[in-house]
């Protein structure tokens, strides 16, 4: 199994630094961005990123907007929203925009790791399914 | 068959608190909604099975089964249903779970009439958009058959001719060329369109069952025949039966088909009483029936009775002009289905599709487009996104003699595109260094 490639997007350098260290230690391949634009640029140039962990409150392009852009341009990338300022409304909004899950800061590292693994498995399964479905119909139908 | 949906919007409200049900009913009925209520999940599941429901409103916490289970069940089984989760204990986690399971809206108790109506409006708007998107897919009139080639124009003329008559039709063509689509077009264009169109794939039903499936049986005709059953010919009485893969019918079945064609009569399995039907037969095959007749594998008399109107469907590789419109059509259809902005194919990718052999014909093309729409993240499909079998067909573009330097340039561009423009990787594949590649590219732009 290849390492799960994760992009962490948060404007707080100290948080990013500790999270990257801890998640890296647990076997994830980590990339970082400090804002929405930077995150999108990275995703546009690297289609092997599987999961994005996204803060909601960021200066410039905020997390919700970033989420919308990501799902529009890269529908198979799974996004986990992570925020210190959660509300019922933003939770609903995030899920409706296609987030994989919505977690609150401070969050248990084991729980986050579980969610990332789940999200990556979801993405891989999805890809696999599409691939198989096609191979199957074509081989079944070959004259 | 699903019951016909009334134009009024029917709401199913589920809550163990009868007061809430009463409030929902009082608020929604004057606004023109029809409201059905029940107090627990199992009853709700039953109601969903029994009658058409447009919107489900369910409480979260209920004894034994909770609202989340209901939402999950309904979401999986009724894709056309709008869903609202109501809860007395709103929480971020609860809201997230509800939406994750498929709820469209999330409402905290106690809610006002305005809040409820606003949520309903959002859900019904969404439903209407979803249904509209679906309804827009089949193209009425031409029944979704696309094609600008001469060959397809000839097919369209034959469809019109066949629709105006009631003679039997034989459609021949490779798998995936659209034989069933043509059969449907003939039926729905013709005078029999109000009667059923029944499609039977002769190879999908085991030989031992085929006769009883087609002609029906009477109670006790064989073990397992617990009651009388009508066959497809009877179900399609007045309409059309489509017999796909007729070339695979056994000689025994062929004899029975001949009888029904000659006399419009047949026997049900286990009965000696003659039944009369008026069912038009449209048959299809990917085999060469004439050759089968010569070998004695297909009855000549049946062949001539079927072949009154003969519609040959050309394989896609013999009408390459149609590829581009089929690509566009399926691309935009799947993009809309997936709710993503439309994507295009790079010129080279389109060129690669244009020379590919398409053994699976239009079905293969349709499947590929569906896969590309899901797999390709960016706005454009490059050659690298195509399956390997299609990627390097460009080299064998027919009828074109190129100079060596032109071939080199084409190859360099193909490799570049296949690695998404990454020059270091392209140079590596080409076996030259980056500097040489840069020079070659410069020379190309100079030459153009
Ligand atoms: N000309 C066309 N325009 C649009 N869609 C088409 C066309 N031809 C075929 N299709 C699509 O391709 C798919 C296969 O068509 P269809 O099932 O009619 O083929 P078939 O020849 O009956 O195949 P088989 O013999 O394998 O059953 C369908 O999804 C159909 O909608």
* pLDDT tens per residue, range B390-418: 876 544 444 455 667 777 777 787 777 66
Q: Are residues B437 and B354 in the same domain?
A: yes
Q: Which residues 55-114 in chain B show a CB within 8 A of chain A?
A: 90-93, 95-96, 99-100, 106, 108
Residue A106, preceding bond cis, omega within 30 degrees? yes
Residues B33 and B164 in one domain: no
- Residues B164 and B183 occupy one common structural domain: yes
At residue B398, the pLDDT reads: 46
* B84, B102, B134 - which closes a domain: B134
Name the residue among A1, A98, A3, A81 with its Cα closest to residue A39.
A81
* Element at A6 (helix H, strand E): strand A5-9
CB-CB neighbors (< 8 A) of B371 in chain A:
130-131, 133-134
What pLDDT score was predicted for residue B82? 94
Residue B159 lies in a domain: yes
Range of the structural domain that residue B396 is part of = 318-447
Q: Considering only residues 123 to 182 of chain B, which have any Cβ-Cβ distance to chain A shorter than 8 Å?
A: 174-176
Task: Name the residue among A60, A53, A48 with its Cα closest to residue A32.
Answer: A53
Q: Assess whether B293 and B181 both reside in one domain.
A: yes
Q: Is A141 exposed, middle or buried (0-12, 13-18, 19+ CB in 10 A)?
A: middle
The pLDDT of residue A116: 96
- Weakest-pLDDT range from B366-370, B403-407, B425-429: B403-407
Q: Decide if B3 is inside a domain.
A: no
- For the segment A52-76, the average pLDDT, to the nearest whole number, is 89
CATH label of the domain that carries residue B353: 1.10.8.60
- Are B167 and B280 members of one domain? yes
Cα(B81)–Cα(B47) distance, integer angstroms: 13
| Cα–Cα dist B125/B202, whole Å | 43
Query: Mean per-residue pLDDT for B10-32?
Result: 94
The mean predicted confidence, pLDDT, of chain B is 85
Same domain for B253 and B290?
yes
Check whether B349 has a pLDDT greater than 90: no
Tell me whether residue B322 is in a domain. yes
Let me know if B149 is exposed, middle or buried by CB neighbors in 10 A (0-12, 13-18, 19+): middle
Helices (H), chain A: 13-25, 36-45, 63-73, 88-96, 109-141
Tell me the C-alpha distance between B211 and B81, whole Å.
39
Any bridge partners for residue A78, and if so which? A51
pLDDT at residue B133, as a whole number: 57
pLDDT at B10 over 60: yes
Task: Return d(Cα B312, Cα B57) in angstroms, integer.
Answer: 53
Burial class (CB in 10 A: 0-12, 13-18, 19+), B400: exposed
Residues B83 and B32 in one domain: yes
Cβ of B145 less than 6 Å from ligand 1: yes
Percentage with pLDDT > 70 across chain B = 91
CA–centroid distance for B330 within its chain = 11
Does the pLDDT of residue B346 top 60, yes or no?
yes
Boundary-marking domain end, from B251, B285, B312: B312
Q: Does B338 lie at the interface with A, CB-CB under 8 angstroms?
A: yes
Domain assignment present for residue B139? The answer is no
pLDDT for B120-150, tens place per residue? 999 998 888 777 655 543 333 456 788 888 8
Q: What is the pLDDT of residue A132?
A: 52
Q: State the CATH number of the domain containing residue B274.
A: 3.40.50.300
Residue B64: pLDDT over 50: yes
* Contact between A127 and B377 using a beta-carbon 8 Å cutoff: no
Of A47-51, B141-145, B212-216, B265-269, minimum mean pLDDT range: B141-145
Tell me the shortest Cα–Cα distance from B428 to chain A, in angstroms.
Answer: 20
- Full set of structural domains in chain A with CATH: 5-132 (3.40.50.2300)
Q: Does one domain contain both B95 and B174? A: no
Return the minimum-mean-pLDDT range out of A28-32, A114-118, B101-105, B373-377: B373-377
CATH code for the domain of B50? 3.40.50.2300
- Ligand 1 centre to CA of A124 (Å) is 30
Is A76 within 8 Å of chain B by CB?
Answer: yes
Place of tokens 């925009």: A97
Q: Which residues, other chains included, contact A142 with Cβ-Cβ below 8 Å and sequence gap of 6+?
A: B175, B359, B360
Is B301 found in the same domain as B402?
A: no
Question: Which of the listed residues B158, B170, B178 should we mutate to test ligand 1's pocket, taking the one with most ligand atoms within 8 A of CB?
Answer: B178
Range scoring the smallest mean pLDDT among A40-44, B47-51, B121-125, B206-210: B206-210
- Taking alpha carbons only, the member of B361, B330, B357, B331 closest to residue B343 is B331
Q: Is the pLDDT of residue B116 over 90?
A: yes
- Closest Cβ opposite residue A75 in set B175, B176, B340: B340
Q: Is B28's pLDDT higher than 50?
A: yes
A91, A101, A124, A125, best to mutate vs chain B, most B CBs in 10 Å: A91
Q: How far apart are CA A5 and CA A17, in angstroms?
A: 17
Question: Is B84 in the same domain as B45?
Answer: yes
Q: What is the dihedral of CA A6, A11, A12, A15, to 10 degrees?
A: -10
The SS3 assignment for B197 reads: strand
Residue B122 lies in a domain: yes
Is B141 domain-assigned?
A: no
- Does residue B157 share a domain with residue B302? yes
For the cut 80, the answer to whether the pLDDT of residue A73 exceeds it is no
B54 lines ligand 1 (CB under 6 A): no
Which pLDDT belongs to residue B424? 83
User: Residue A32's pLDDT band (boundaries 50, 70, 90)?
Assistant: very high
Please report residues of B whose CB lies closer than 8 A to that of A126: 374
Q: Within a domain: residue B30?
A: yes
Q: How many domains does chain B have?
A: 3
Residues B48 and B87 in one domain: yes
Q: What is the pLDDT of residues B153-199, one digit of tens each?
A: 889 889 988 988 888 999 999 989 999 999 999 998 888 888 888 88
Residue predicted with more confidence, B426 or A79: A79
Q: What is the mean pLDDT of residues B316-323?
A: 90
Give the pLDDT confidence score for residue B298 in this predicted structure: 93
Q: Which atom, in ligand 1's list, is nearest to the CA of B177?
A: 21
**Closest partner CB to A143 (pick from B90, B99, B175):** B175
In a domain, B4, yes or no: no
Ligand 1 binding pocket includes B199 (Cβ within 6 Å): no
For ligand 1, atom 18, the nearest C-alpha belongs to B178
For residue A96, name the pLDDT band (cuts at 50, 70, 90). confident
Pocket lining: B27 vs ligand 1, CB cutoff 6 Å:
no
Is the CB of B99 less than 8 angstroms away from the CB of A91? yes
C-alpha distances out from residue A101 to A35, A59, A81, B225, Å: 20, 22, 6, 52
**In this predicted complex, what is the ipTM?**
0.72
B292, B312, B332 — which closes off a domain? B312
Looking at residue B264, its pLDDT comes to 86
**What's the pLDDT tens digit per position in B200-234?**
888 877 777 888 888 988 888 777 778 888 888 98
Give Cα separations from A102 to A37, A80, A81, B341, B394 (angstroms). 21, 6, 5, 25, 46
Q: Which atom of ligand 1 is nearest to the CA of B245?
A: 25
């Amino acid at each position: 199994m290849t390492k799960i490639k994760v992009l962490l997007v948060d404007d707080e350098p100290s948080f990013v630094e500790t999270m990257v260290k801890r998640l890296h230690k647990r076997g994830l391949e980590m990339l970082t961005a400090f804002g929405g634009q930077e995150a999108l640029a990275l995703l546009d140039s690297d289609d092997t990123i599987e999961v994005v962990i996204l803060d909601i409150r960021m200066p410039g392009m905020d997390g919700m907007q970033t989420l919308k852009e990501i799902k529009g341009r890269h529908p198979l990338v799974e996004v986990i929203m992570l925020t210190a300022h959660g509300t019922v409304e933003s939770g609903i909004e995030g899920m409706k925009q296609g987030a994989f899950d919505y977690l609150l800061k401070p969050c248990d590292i084991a729980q986050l790791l579980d969610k990332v693994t789940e999200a990556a498995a979801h993405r891989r399964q999805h890809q696999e399914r599409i691939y198989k479905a096609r191979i199957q119909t074509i081989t079944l139908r070959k004259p | 068959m699903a019951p016909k949906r009334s134009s009024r919007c029917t709401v199913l409200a589920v809550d163990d608190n009868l007061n809430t049900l009463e409030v929902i009913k009082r608020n929604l009925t004057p606004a023109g909604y029809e409201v059905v209520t029940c107090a627990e999940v199992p009853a709700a599941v039953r109601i969903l099975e029994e009658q058409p429901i447009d919107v489900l409103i369910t409480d979260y916490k209920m004894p034994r089964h909770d609202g989340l289970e209901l939402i999950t069940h309904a979401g999986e089984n009724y894709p056309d249903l709008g869903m609202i989760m109501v809860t007395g204990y709103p929480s971020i986690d609860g809201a997230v779970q509800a939406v994750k399971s498929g709820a469209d809206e999330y409402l905290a108790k106690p809610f006002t009439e305005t809040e409820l109506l606003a949520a309903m409006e959002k859900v019904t708007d969404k439903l209407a958009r979803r249904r509209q998107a679906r309804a827009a897919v089949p193209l009425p009139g031409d029944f979704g058959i696309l094609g600008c080639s001469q060959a397809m124009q000839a097919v369209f003329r034959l469809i019109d001719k066949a629709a105006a008559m009631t003679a039997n039709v034989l459609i021949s063509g490779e798998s995936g060329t659209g034989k069933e689509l043509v059969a449907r077009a003939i039926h729905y264009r013709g005078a029999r369109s109000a009667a059923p169109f029944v499609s039977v794939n002769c190879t999908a039903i085991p030989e031992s069952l085929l006769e009883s499936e087609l002609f029906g049986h009477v109670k006790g005709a064989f073990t397992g025949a617990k009651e009388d059953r009508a066959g497809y010919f009877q179900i399609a009485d007045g309409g059309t039966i489509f017999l796909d893969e007729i070339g695979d019918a056994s000689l025994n079945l062929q004899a029975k088909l001949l009888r029904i064609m000659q006399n419009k009569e047949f026997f049900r399995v286990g009965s000696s009483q003659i039944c009369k039907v008026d069912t038009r037969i449209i048959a299809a095959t990917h085999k060469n029936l004439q050759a089968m007749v010569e070998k004695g594998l297909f009855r000549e008399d049946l062949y001539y009775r079927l072949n009154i109107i003969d519609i040959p469907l050309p394989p896609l590789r013999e009408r390459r002009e149609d590829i581009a419109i089929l690509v566009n059509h399926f691309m935009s259809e799947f993009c809309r289905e997936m709710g993503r902005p439309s994507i295009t194919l790079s010129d080279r990718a389109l060129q690669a599709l244009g020379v590919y052999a398409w053994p699976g014909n239009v079905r293969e093309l349709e499947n590929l487009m569906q896969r590309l729409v899901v797999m390709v993240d960016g706005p454009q499909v490059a050659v690298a996104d195509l399956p390997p079998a299609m990627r390097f067909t460009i080299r064998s573009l027919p009828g074109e003699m190129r100079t060596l330097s032109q071939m080199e340039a084409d190859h360099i561009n193909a490799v570049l595109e296949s690695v998404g423009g990454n020059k270091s990787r392209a140079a590596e594949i080409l076996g030259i260094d980056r500097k040489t590649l840069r020079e070659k590219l410069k020379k190309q732009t100079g030459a153009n």
